[in-house]
Amino acid sequence: MLKTRNRSLVLRERPTGEVGDEHFEMVEGPVPTPRAGEVVIRNEWLSFDPAQRGWMNDVRSYAPPVAIGEVMRAYGVGMIVASEHADLPVGTRVQGQLGWQEYAHIPPGGIGELTIVPPEIAHPETMLGVLGLTGLTAYFGMLMVGIPGVGDTVLVTAAAGATGSIAGQIARINGASRVVGTAGTAEKRAWVCEVAGFDECLDHYDDDVRRQLRRAAPGGYDVVFDNVGGSLLDAALFNIAERGRIALCGSISTGYRPERPAIGLHYYQLLTTRRSRMEGFLVTDFADQFDRARGDLSRWVDEGKIQASQDVLTGLERAPTGLARLFSGGNLGKQLLRLS
């Protein structure tokens, strides 16, 4: 039976430091009713992604900022519970930008952004993790930008994270002979080696990480998949191999906080002497290849070649906590929230 009230978390003020409950406000309203060409979705799962922190800043970027008073933007999975759209009947499960709310009202212009979750997928929340944007980010960043070849040595920073953990395993599938990770806690490092199958995992808070990286791969890294930025990226630059490729995925160490400038990179000159490159990418640019990539990822999961981990909170009111955990390093694997 449907509820009659919808709860939403809207952006109250833009954070300047760490994100917390005080930046959002819970508002209640009626469950929306679809008009022609629209659907209403009961949200089941919400995804937390570092990019969300960037969307909260009032700065020019690839996506417009979330407005004050607007429902916080987020990817999620949910079930269509009311529909005036012929192709999306009630009972269809979809993934898309559903927002921090219990019910999402999708206008005609947003229908094209929804992805149907195939009924044969046993765990629909994987459409937010290994089969969702984090897994797809690992897939395209590694295979289209990092491009590990047979015998290559690969470094993945934040290797216990939703993207890093998948990226390292994809490098291995693609032929890399040595895969090194970094993570912030002993528990995560154990998981990265024992479950995700990396050869070694270093402490990325180690003051001596530059030398540790060298010790772990004396010949340098052919591919670096970076989720951290700052001094760890600089240490990776110091250890780049000739013709190396650094895929710039994210920069979690900066917290995506506009008031805090990123720690500068000093070793960029080595890109010249080692004929190497550093390149950014956005997964959404590869949208026309998502189906093929999901097919590969799904098969690799079924074959046991990819291990994915999830970290699940429950209840809409905990959404700000879920987002903050990405930056405090509290999560192991994909941070999700299950709506009660």
Interface with a copy of itself (CB under 8 A): 54, 61-62, 229, 233-234, 248-251, 254, 261-282, 285
Q: Which is nearer to a copy of itself, 19 or 249 (CB)?
A: 249
Contacts of 79 (CB under 8 A, 6+ apart): 41, 42, 44, 91, 92, 93, 94
Angle at which helix 133-140 crosses helix 290-302, to 10 degrees, equals: 100
Q: Which is nearer to a copy of itself, 61 or 289 (CB)?
A: 61
> Distance between CA atoms of 257 and 229, rounded to whole angstroms?
13
Residues 106 and 35 sit within 8 Å (Cβ to Cβ): no
- Placement of tokens 């799962």 in the chain: 45
Taking the complex as a whole, how short is the minimal distance between the CB of residue 93 and a copy of itself, in angstroms? 31
Q: Which is nearer to a copy of itself, 79 or 147 (CB)?
A: 147
3-state secondary structure of 223: strand
Taking the complex as a whole, how short is the minimal distance between the CB of residue 285 and a copy of itself, in angstroms? 6
> Which amino acid, one-letter code, is at 107?
P
Q: Which is nearer to a copy of itself, 124 or 229 (CB)?
A: 229
Q: Give the tokens for residue 77.
A: 């999975």
Please spell the DSSP secondary structure of 111-153, one letter per residue: GGG-EEPPTT-S-GGGGGTTTSHHHHHHHHIIIIII---TT-E
Residues 307 and 196 sit within 8 Å (Cβ to Cβ): yes
Taking the complex as a whole, how short is the minimal distance between the CB of residue 277 and a copy of itself, in angstroms? 4
Residue whose C-alpha is closest to residue 327's, from 257, 226, 232: 257
Taking the complex as a whole, how short is the minimal distance between the CB of residue 274 and a copy of itself, in angstroms? 7
> Distance between CA atoms of 54 and 73, rounded to whole angstroms?
11
Taking the complex as a whole, how short is the minimal distance between the CB of residue 231 and a copy of itself, in angstroms? 10
- The backbone torsions φ and ψ at residue 23, rounded to the nearest 5 degrees and listed phi first, read -90, 0
Q: Which is nearer to a copy of itself, 234 or 317 (CB)?
A: 234
3-state secondary structure of 59: coil
Residues 289 and 140 sit within 8 Å (Cβ to Cβ): yes
Taking the complex as a whole, how short is the minimal distance between the CB of residue 50 and a copy of itself, in angstroms? 11
Q: Which is nearer to a copy of itself, 22 or 208 (CB)?
A: 208
Taking the complex as a whole, how short is the minimal distance between the CB of residue 327 and a copy of itself, in angstroms? 15
Q: Which is nearer to a copy of itself, 266 or 299 (CB)?
A: 266
Q: How far apart are the first and last CA of the chain?
A: 14
Taking the complex as a whole, how short is the minimal distance between the CB of residue 262 and a copy of itself, in angstroms? 5
Q: Which is nearer to a copy of itself, 187 or 279 (CB)?
A: 279
